[in-house]
Amino acid sequence: MISSIAIFFILWWVILFTILPIGVVTQEEDGAVVPGSDPSAPSRPHLLKKALLTTVLASVVFAGVYWLLVHSGLTLDDFPFRPPSG
């Protein structure tokens, strides 16, 4: 249970950092630079929308990982990590 929560949050953060730069318009591109801020700062980052999209995508990916590990019969022993030493 605890490891499932950890896997979900790792997936959530990876997906969030993948989604964050999508659709970002800087203040300089928008033509509305706020005095005292960096011109390359985003004018409208849409963080709530991106957090919701991240949650949905992380849930879908986690469901796939969960199914793969629990219901498909596939185990970590099925993956060849390195050749046997000999």
User: pLDDT of 34-67, one tens digit each?
Assistant: 899 899 889 888 999 999 999 999 999 999 988 9
Q: Report the first-to-last Cα separation within the chain, whole angstroms.
A: 37
Does the pLDDT of residue 18 top 80, yes or no?
A: yes
Does the pLDDT of residue 83 top 80, yes or no?
A: no
Ranges of each domain in the chain:
2-78
The closest alpha carbon to 28, from 16, 45, 40, 11, belongs to 40
